[in-house]
Structure 1
Amino acid sequence: MDQEEHADLMACGRLRLASSCQIDFSVHHFLFFIVDSRQVLHARVMPNQPPSECVDKKESQPMAGRRVIRRQVLLLLGYYNVSLHGGIIRYAKEAGWALDDSYQRSGMTPVWWSGDGILSLITSPKDVRAWENFPAKLPMVDLSKGWIADSMPEEDRVSGQKRHRVYYDNAKIGEAAADHFLQRGFRHIAYLNVGNYWHETERIPVIRERVQAAGAAFHEIDFYHHFLRNAPNALQNRRRAQEWLTEIIRHLPKPLGIVLSSDDWANCVLQACEAADVAVPEEVGVLGCDNDPTVCHCTPVPLSSIDVNWDAIGYDAAALLDRLMNGEKIPMSPVLIPPNGVVTRMSTNILAVTDPRIAKALSYIWDHYAHPIGAEEVAREAGLNRRTLERGFRKHLNRSVWHEITRVRVEKAKSMLWVTTAKAHEIAEKCGFSGIVAFSKVFLRFTGMRPSEYRKTKNAAHLSTRRRAAEE
């Protein structure tokens, strides 16, 4: 850059040197890019601020006597995860890279970019088209298996393209999900299949096999084939999707553990459970995937989630790209990163107890609530004396054995009042109550309504929901 060009820039604002190509398109700032070989200079006008606020002195100090050439790496992440980005940044700092992450923030393909390598995560045809703007010979590593789903046109699939890939180990994720519920005594475990995406087609068989091998029942909730295919705009109409899920959840056997492909879908299921008056985690345990703190702590019930190890995926993918940029010949076989395990929160903590005998007692209550069981029988089945069992329930559930037995019976009765036309005395008998009088008194104590009042209230709400859906 000659003195005249430098003077022009200084007239507009102070000059900032940066080690990354982060682009700020703010209305109140102006960015100037001067490309000198493989160096990128950023000039940023920051009015009314002293130089100390505009320039990171440590970053902007030039190295005496020589010019540093940084490798330019582009991020094309169709799915953004802060831990993934953090892993990439960690390696980039060690290697001295300059990262361009403008695609994640602007959604626009940086067609002006020219550099040394690309890290991508293809999640849609849009990402495929962004990918195709750059030379095929450029070193690239993708952090997925490609954009593959039954719900997309054949021409948009990229599974056949040969790329170096680093992504999560779906078999290990499936095993972790199944074991999480099995170890907590769940005998019914479901998976919500939202589109036959590649990660789902790899996880579902593993979960099914592991669950059935343990003698439990596996249920696949096929959201795509039974709902989404017939309502293509359903994802834009979240209320309809949740109404469909609400009906499904009401009819599935309880207690039930549901595994989801993402934390966002787990949040959708939690809201459907809330709409169905299904207790989480007492009746339905919900397990997400990705362990995204921006979702897991903001759901109706704090969400348990599988930590797929995004940080390691990002770091290892960057390391692989570095080797490719160094000219190494590396086989195309994918690198699979195992998960860190399940981060347990309230949505599955009903059987997350240190004493397996308490878990066994809970499972026995759920399986035999319709019979005239009491605390003595439950203690005997769990291999405990009654006093120890009561202490365990107080410690882990903050309620007595009697309260848990009664709570389960009331929840089953609520479900029958909602989805069946059975008479109150029939429901009382099927839910383990000694008679209609006892049923009515206990139901009133737990819900604040008599069974007949509860049925009328819920039927009115149900008809209102169906009427709105029909009108739309």
Structure 2
Amino acid sequence: MSKIFRILLLFNANKIYDREIIEGVGKYIASTGACWEVYVEDDYLIDRKSIDDWYGDGIIADLDDPDIADALAGSTIPTVGVGSSYEHHKDYPHFPYVATDNRALIESAVDHLTQRGLTSLAFYGANPSPYNRWAKEREKAFLSLTKERGYNSSVFRGFDTNARNWTFCMNRITDWIQQLPKPIGIVAVTDSRARHIIQACANTDIHVPENVAVIGIDNDDVARSLNRISLSSVAQNGNELGFVAAKKLSQMLEKDTNVSDLTKIGPLRVYDRQSSDFHAVNHPLIMTALHFIRVNVGKGIKSYHVFDALNVSRSKLEVLFKSELGTTVHDQIFTIRLKKACQLLKSKNKSIEEIAKLSGYPTTQYMYSVFAKNLSMTPKEYREKEG
């Protein structure tokens, strides 16, 4: 009978990054049949006492948390760390380590914005702390990339927000955004920080993405659901991080001497949504019209709703749309509605009937006919293909 190894996972699973790593560990166990008995706290949060009292065979730990790193510093138990990548090798722990590649994350975000024609870029980061060293690494990567490529850039770290200082923090973010050149693309260090940008723009009638295109990092469902504009995001490859970490630990448990010290894992993909759907337009009426459509398309709006909201004649706006976009107001509503439906279908947490309603289609059957005519597949088939 194979030896059963007792494994401790030290992660705070209230974060999407940690949850995906844990899932990756699970996929390794399932795919290899590893005889592991895995221990995590009942609430999936780290308990320092777990480290002190653990007498098992191996540990996989989030070493972005300096308290965990300190607690494990003298451990003789086989341990694999997971966390941020660093510019300098001296910043890595002495354990075998699997790192999310911060430069690759930022490069994906920058490429996403510049491929849309944006040449002015900004970075909304976070104040340095022992608990978020990855934020500084991402900021350094952004500054390095934009300098190498000759883009104008700006950095703002903002403040650590809480209920008491929220208004003050949002005002300072707004001040920063207002003084930036427009149009501009902003890379936020996390999806939570990206949400601040979208909220500040909404409060001051700065149009996203027409004036400010935004992309975050994490592909966090919670942060994304709190925005009126759906958030583009770079997804970290947490499953792969967890899988590789588990493989390294398995090698250590089997006394394999060829365990690599460091493996960097690049991003999974960029999720392209409304917040970065930038197209260079010059006329402010077109910017306002496109913004109105994006915000209200789920309400089933038609062309006349746009004319009424902007208090402009149909003929004037249609001429502007045709000259700058080569399309009509009706066609833009149609395209934006279809994009919204496609984005929602990529998530598994809503039924097709709910998605039809949220996208502004009068009936589910009508949405099916739109997909058949334009994509040659049903919404269900699109979900299976893209989900």
Q: TM-score range by the shorter chain?
A: 0.5 to 0.7
CA distance in 1, matches of 2:324, 2:55: 69
Q: Which residue among 75, 85, 100 is the counterpart of 1:136?
A: 75
Q: Which residue among 21, 32, 42 is the counterpart of 1:84?
A: 21
2:252 is the counterpart of 1:313: no
Q: Report the residue type matching 1:124 in the other structure.
A: D
Question: Could you say what secondary structure the match of 2:47 adopts?
Answer: coil
Q: Structure 1 residues 300, 290: closer, same or farther in 2, change over 3 A?
A: same
Q: Which residue among 99, 102, 107 is the counterpart of 1:170?
A: 102
Equivalences for residues 14-163 of structure 1 within 5 A: 69-78=3-12, 80-81=15-16, 82-93=19-30, 94=32, 95-102=34-41, 105-109=44-48, 110=50, 111-131=52-72, 136-145=75-84, 159=91, 161-163=93-95
Instruction: State the TM-score, normalizing by the size of structure 2.
Output: 0.65
Question: Could you say what secondary structure the match of 1:119 adopts?
Answer: strand
Question: Could you say what secondary structure the match of 1:166 adopts?
Answer: strand
CA distance in 1, matches of 2:85, 2:78: 17
Question: Could you say what secondary structure the match of 1:259 adopts?
Answer: strand
Q: Structure 1 residues 215, 112: closer, same or farther in 2, change over 3 A?
A: closer
Q: Report the residue type matching 2:154 in the other structure.
A: H
Q: Report the residue type matching 2:38 in the other structure.
A: L
Q: Structure 1 residues 116, 143: closer, same or farther in 2, change over 3 A?
A: same
CA distance in 1, matches of 2:86, 2:119: 34
Structure whose CA Rg is larger? 1
- In structure 2, the residue matched to 1:219 is 154
Q: Residues 145-173 of structure 1, C-alpha deviation per residue, up to 9 Å, x if partnerless?
A: 4899xxxxxxxxx9464111101112211
2:266 is the counterpart of 1:266: no
CA distance in 1, matches of 2:247, 2:155: 38
Query: How far off is 1:219 after superposition?
Result: 1.1
CA distance in 2, matches of 1:103, 1:129: 23
Q: Structure 1 residues 89, 251: closer, same or farther in 2, change over 3 A?
A: same
CA distance in 2, matches of 1:315, 1:108: 23
- In structure 2, the residue matched to 1:391 is 327
Q: Structure 1 residues 214, 107: closer, same or farther in 2, change over 3 A?
A: closer
Question: Could you say what secondary structure the match of 1:99 adopts?
Answer: strand
Instruction: State the TM-score, normalizing by the size of structure 1.
Output: 0.54
CA distance in 2, matches of 1:186, 1:348: 10
Q: Structure 1 residues 117, 395: closer, same or farther in 2, change over 3 A?
A: farther
Question: Could you say what secondary structure the match of 1:312 adopts?
Answer: helix
Structure 1 unmatched runs, 5+: 1-65, 149-157, 352-358, 380-385, 400-472
Query: Is contact 1:118–1:140 with CA below 8 Å preserved after alignment?
Result: yes
Identity value in percent: 24
Q: Structure 1 residues 147, 388: closer, same or farther in 2, change over 3 A?
A: closer
- In structure 2, the residue matched to 1:41 is none
Query: Is contact 1:304–1:343 with CA below 8 Å preserved after alignment?
Result: yes
Question: Could you say what secondary structure the match of 2:202 adopts?
Answer: helix
Query: Is contact 1:186–1:363 with CA below 8 Å preserved after alignment?
Result: no
- In structure 1, the residue matched to 2:139 is 204
CA distance in 2, matches of 1:285, 1:138: 47
Q: Report the residue type matching 1:216 in the other structure.
A: Y
Query: How far off is 1:378 after superposition?
Result: 9.3
Query: Is contact 1:75–1:120 with CA below 8 Å preserved after alignment?
Result: yes
- In structure 2, the residue matched to 1:277 is 205
2:263 is the counterpart of 1:328: no
Equivalences for residues 402-413 of structure 1 within 5 A: none
Query: How far off is 1:397 after superposition?
Result: 6.7
Query: Is contact 2:85–2:100 with CA below 8 Å preserved after alignment?
Result: no
Question: Could you say what secondary structure the match of 1:86 adopts?
Answer: helix
CA distance in 1, matches of 2:6, 2:29: 10
Structure 2 unmatched runs, 5+: 288-315, 336-387
State which drifts further: 135-144 or 179-188: 135-144
CA RMSD after TM alignment = 3.6
Query: How far off is 1:363 after superposition?
Result: 5.0
Of structures 1 and 2, the one scoring higher in RCO (CA 8 A, sep 6+) is: 2
Question: Could you say what secondary structure the match of 2:327 adopts?
Answer: helix
CA distance in 2, matches of 1:99, 1:211: 43
Query: How far off is 1:113 after superposition?
Result: 2.7
Query: Is contact 1:125–1:147 with CA below 8 Å preserved after alignment?
Result: no
Q: Structure 1 residues 214, 145: closer, same or farther in 2, change over 3 A?
A: closer
Question: Could you say what secondary structure the match of 1:241 adopts?
Answer: helix
Q: Report the residue type matching 2:24 in the other structure.
A: G
Query: Is contact 1:71–1:97 with CA below 8 Å preserved after alignment?
Result: yes
CA distance in 2, matches of 1:131, 1:322: 19
Question: Could you say what secondary structure the match of 1:105 adopts?
Answer: coil
- In structure 1, the residue matched to 2:305 is none
Equivalences for residues 366-381 of structure 1 within 5 A: none
Query: Is contact 2:125–2:157 with CA below 8 Å preserved after alignment?
Result: yes
Question: Could you say what secondary structure the match of 2:182 adopts?
Answer: coil
- In structure 2, the residue matched to 1:27 is none
> What is the number of equivalent residue pairs in this alignment?
294
Question: Could you say what secondary structure the match of 1:336 adopts?
Answer: strand
Q: Structure 1 residues 124, 242: closer, same or farther in 2, change over 3 A?
A: farther
CA distance in 2, matches of 1:339, 1:389: 33
Query: Is contact 1:181–1:257 with CA below 8 Å preserved after alignment?
Result: yes
- In structure 1, the residue matched to 2:354 is none
CA distance in 2, matches of 1:175, 1:395: 33
